[in-house]
Amino acid sequence: MDIKLYLLLSIITASISFLLIQSKLFQFFRNWVKECPVFKCGFCFGHWIALALVIGFKFRLFGIHWFLDLIFTTLAVAWTGGFQYIIMTIVVDLMEAREKGE
């Protein structure tokens, strides 16, 4: 198991999710696809990003049948990325509250 690649993929998953779901930079994108529920939740969107990254990097975490490994590896990367996404959201909310003087 390559823990460095696992953590790297989870950080990339969280970063892309945060960038597309929370940042003001992609507000136009969220307005364009506002009817799609996947783009309203960073954790949900992170699963799709994790799947793309796991397929793209051909990363296997468990060494079992390729399809089960794909599913479980995607869930593990998305789960860890989800925690990182939550931490990023909390930090940004705290920074914005501090700027407003609350």
State how far the Cα of 60 lies from the Cα of 67, in Å rounded to an integer: 10
Question: Distance between the two ends of the chain, CA-based, in angstroms?
Answer: 45
What residues contact 59, with CB distance under 8 A and at least 6 apart?
A: 2, 5, 6, 9, 53, 73, 77
Domain map (residue ranges) of the chain = 3-100
pLDDT tens profile 16-75 = 999 888 888 888 888 888 777 777 788 888 999 999 999 999 999 888 999 999 999 999
State how far the Cα of 72 lies from the Cα of 2, in Å rounded to an integer: 15
* pTM (2 d.p.): 0.84
Show the tokens assigned to 70. 């794909």
Show the tokens assigned to 54. 């796991």
